[in-house]
Amino acid sequence: MSFETNKFNVVKKKKLEKSTFNVECNVENSVEIDKILSVCHTSQADSAEILNGVVNYVGYIDLCIVYLTVDGEIGTINASCPFTSKFEDNMIMVGDKVCISVEVEDYSVESVTSSNIKISCACEQSAMLVLSRGVETILTGDDDICLKTDEILVNTLVGEAKDMFTIESNFSIKEPIRKIISSDSQVCVKAVESGVNFVSVSGEVVTRLLYLTENDRFETSYVTDNFKEEVELEGVTRESVSEAMTTVRKSSVKCEIETAEKGVEVRVIVPIDVKVVAYTEKSETVIKDIYSTKCELEVSTISFEMSKQLASEFYEEKIDGTLTLDDNKPRVDKIMFVGGSNIVVTNSYVKEGEFFVEGVTKTNVIYLNDETNSLHSVVVEVPFVVSDKTDAEDGAQVSVKVALIDVDVVVKKGREFYFDAKLKIIAEFSCDEIGAVISTVETAGEFGERDCAIELVFAHAGQTAWDVAKSIKVKEENVIYQNPDLVFPLEKDENIVVFHKAQSFDSQGENV
């Protein structure tokens, strides 16, 4: 007895275990620094190598360091610090896909000299593994094998594709400026749509510019540009569900200033990497039931897990918080500027029709103390929980990307900081499904010779011709053709007569 086998692939998404590690950043310096006022940091994975059991990847941390020199000048150093890290899991296999997220949870300035600034960054890494696995099942057998097939929907991976595009932001500042202190560009995805062999990704790029005017005032400007990019990916259809990950190449952002009649014209060029992953549902033919007319069969089934990708959802939320300055800190007489903000997402989940995101924002605030006429800095740390409605079910797996914009900090009574900002969140949901198929069939002994030519079967209401045929190990068509007056499924209990003598039938069920 021999069988042909069929193999189909299913996709499964799995979160790899979070872990932490430290990166020591050594930044070249050429000035005499009195104090570091703020450090703005962003981190991301760059390239990954996937081997069996391990993902090795290269990443980098971009730093924007704002400092005060011994001569009282404000300066900025931008640096990029590479690092390597890895994930280990016995489910990882060559050919899998992975989406890696790296966040700097905290940092400390270890030392500052006239030639070097050493900063230690505590990082947390997380990743979503996208694996495609084959499922083998029996498809056909010998002539004495009776099969009932069925169509099942399985979730499959179409593939992934990468691209790069550039956003150019142009805006005016209506007064002369002395210098640009820092610029920070963030990208957020608002919608992902599947087409025919392409994925359309649309969203916003928000650039924050901190500058010093000729009147020695610190000012902040925000500029927002919309984008819509198409990434080619063969095999995608309009029915596919796609997700996208976008990152700004911070170290390659260019900010150009040109003097105008009134103020300056600013041109910011922001290069953006985009990666899309697409999923689709496919119909596969599998055996639902099987038996033999000649021998007993031992049938084994296997179960398999797969992930169904749901449509991404975009949210805009407001967060706020307060901080009271420690008594040992100089009072705040004037906020000079916000040096930069960072956000760490600690958890995201779905519960009772709502989607929740938990995290912490940290904002560097530089302020003036009139008594000593000196600049000081403080970190305003605000934990947050935001929620909104979702169609995703409880227990759905969630992956989020968050952009923090429109940060505002004010002070009251010299010691109380009030913080508010906006979050732009793209959330990707998937739910796990379990399927099962017949995997192996073994013979367990042949039937003996039948001792009668006619068999009477007591069939029950609701039974099909297949049920009756399987119970006495004959072909289904024998039951149907020998009992033309019966309608299956049976409406009532019936006595069915089956002839076991050799007969053959034409396509209309007549003896030939």
What sign does the dihedral 119-124-130-131 (CA atoms) show?
positive
In the prediction, which pLDDT does 502 show?
Answer: 52
In the prediction, which pLDDT does 372 show?
Answer: 87
Query: What's the pLDDT tens digit per position in 345-393?
Result: 999 999 999 999 999 999 999 999 998 889 999 999 999 999 999 988 8
- Nearest Cα neighbor of 376 from 384, 367, 385, 388 is 367
Hey, what's the torsion of the CAs at 138, 142, 144, 149, to 10 degrees?
A: 30
- Nearest Cα neighbor of 379 from 85, 161, 105 is 105
Digit-by-digit pLDDT tens for the chain (512 residues) are 567 788 899 999 999 999 999 999 999 999 999 999 999 898 999 899 999 999 999 999 999 999 999 998 899 999 999 999 999 999 999 999 999 999 999 999 999 998 999 999 999 999 999 999 999 888 776 788 898 989 999 999 999 999 999 999 888 998 889 889 888 999 999 999 999 999 999 999 999 999 999 888 899 888 999 999 999 999 999 999 999 999 998 888 999 999 888 889 999 999 999 999 999 999 998 988 999 988 888 899 999 999 999 989 999 999 999 999 998 899 999 999 998 888 999 999 999 999 999 999 999 999 999 988 899 999 999 999 999 999 888 889 999 999 998 899 999 999 999 999 999 999 999 999 999 999 888 888 888 888 788 888 999 999 999 999 999 999 999 999 999 999 999 999 999 989 886 544 454 545 44
- Nearest Cα neighbor of 389 from 415, 351, 421, 353 is 353
In the prediction, which pLDDT does 339 show?
Answer: 84
In the prediction, which pLDDT does 109 show?
Answer: 94
Classify strands 218-232 and 198-213 as parallel, antiparallel or unpaired: antiparallel
In the prediction, which pLDDT does 511 show?
Answer: 45
For the chain, the distance separating the N- and C-terminal CA atoms, rounded to the nearest angstrom, is 29
* Cα–Cα distance, 94 to 77 (Å, whole number): 40
* Cα–Cα distance, 376 to 31 (Å, whole number): 19
* Cα–Cα distance, 147 to 141 (Å, whole number): 8
Structure tokens belonging to residue 393:
């079910």
CA 140 to chain centre: 39
* Cα–Cα distance, 305 to 468 (Å, whole number): 33
Q: Indicate the pTM of the whole model.
A: 0.86
Q: What are the C-alpha distances in Å from 405 to residues 10, 186, 341, 366?
A: 39, 8, 9, 18
Residues in the chain: 512
Residue 317: how many other CB atoms lie within 10 Å: 16
Number of H helices, E strands in the chain: 2, 22
In the prediction, which pLDDT does 505 show?
Answer: 46
In the prediction, which pLDDT does 144 show?
Answer: 86
* Cα–Cα distance, 421 to 381 (Å, whole number): 13
